[in-house]
Amino acid sequence: MAASSEPDGSVASLPPTPAIGWIGLGEMGLPMATNLVAAGNRVVGLDREPARVEAASRAGVEAAGSLPALLGEDVTVLVTMLRTGVQTAELLLGPEGVAAIATRPLDVVMMSTMDPPSVERLARECAERDLTLLDVPVSGGVRGAEAGSLSIMASGDPAALARVRPLLEPLGARVHQLGEQPGASQAAKLANQVMMATSIAGTYEALALAGDYGLEPEPVIAAVLDGTGASWPLAHWDWMRSLWEEYEPEGALDILDKDLKAVIAAVRERGADLPVTEATFARLTELWDGARTAAAERRAAG
């Protein structure tokens, strides 16, 4: 479409295209932002790691050099995908954060995994600063992020959720709305992590048991996937075990470990009785700490 002309012959400037602001372009954030671009959205991204920003730029994400630059790009909604709650709170409410810089109210889609009480507090504090915080963690791992098949758990203000739903749909197989209270989705995500962690530990020990009887893992996995012991970790076991057998610092294993620590912290804060979860976490910590030690020894040796 040709740009319209003013009476004096000059070309009228077109209004800027509304953009989705995306902060956090790591293992999960980058493929998710890329899927939004592929769905026809304008996405402006920011990350503290230049290599991540470069990778996002190659995928069609516009790079913002700073938070003020990102918020100045006619951003109508902001998505955050950071590793920790502390990072998220500082980004949103810190002295040089979003609330201090934004010139208009914003919907903030917070996709990190945190403990529910912290999200409730953060949402209240954001509301006082014209930020509507939506609690939207996801499950499905890096593969789900890449395939756009994540399970998306959403809670918060219904009107705001309706506004952002079109940007959530390209990211996942289904958007599960879990109520109006921020923190509700985090409770569901913690439940998801408990179920997955116990399955990982059980699968690890069950395959070791089969091995003691002389069975290779592959035929056992194939048989169990057709039976009642099937699970997501078992169906993706080659990838799951690669997390510790081929451990990479700051990778998917560390993200999962962080999430499980959030589970344990939440359990202890509420005084809940989850002995299987506690035992599972101890078992996985032992396994994963051994993987980190072995990886450090390999790096030191070569």
Mark whether 121 and 41 lie in a shared domain.
yes
CA distance 286 to 111: 28
302 assigned to some structural domain: no
Question: How far apart are the C-alpha atoms of 132 and 160, rounded to whole Å?
Answer: 7
Q: Which of 180, 196, 216 is the last residue of a domain?
A: 180
Mean pLDDT by 10 residues, the chain (302 residues): 43 60 94 96 95 95 94 91 91 95 94 91 96 96 92 97 95 94 94 92 96 97 97 93 86 81 80 88 88 82 75
Shared domain for 159 and 27, answered yes or no, is yes
Per-residue CA distances from 212 to 57, 88, 234, 286 (Å) = 49, 46, 18, 21
* Residue indicated by tokens 């804060």: 269
Print the domain residue range for 123. 19-180
* 14 domain residue, yes or no: no
CA dihedral 196, 168, 117, 178 (to 10 degrees): -80
pTM of the entire predicted model: 0.86
Active site residue 261: no
* CATH assignment of the domain containing 100: 3.40.50.720
175 and 29 belong to one structural domain: yes
Shared domain for 135 and 275, answered yes or no, is: no
DSSP for 154-204 reads EBS-HHHHHHHHHHHGGGEEEEEE--SSTTHHHHHHHHHHHHHHHHHHHHH
d(CA 236, CA 266): 28
Number of domains within the chain: 2
Same domain, 80 and 204: no
| Contact (Cβ atoms closer than 8 angstroms) between residue 252 and residue 243 | yes
Catalytic residue, candidates 189, 224, 240, 255? 189
> Which pLDDT score, from 0 to 100, does residue 17 have?
61
Q: Given this model, what pLDDT does residue 4 score?
A: 40
Q: Which own/partner pairs from 130-133 qualify as long-range (CB within 8 Å, at least 24 positions apart)?
A: 130/99, 130/102, 130/104, 130/105, 130/106, 131/92, 131/98, 131/99, 131/102, 131/105, 131/106, 132/105, 132/106, 132/107, 132/108, 132/156, 132/157, 132/160, 133/92, 133/108, 133/182
Which pairing describes strands 138-139 and 19-23: parallel, antiparallel, or unpaired? unpaired
Instruction: Say if residue 81 is in the same domain as residue 209.
Output: no
196 and 159, same domain (yes or no)? no
Residue 90's CB: how many other CB atoms inside 10 A?
A: 14
Q: For the chain, give the number of residues.
A: 302
69 and 139, same domain (yes or no): yes
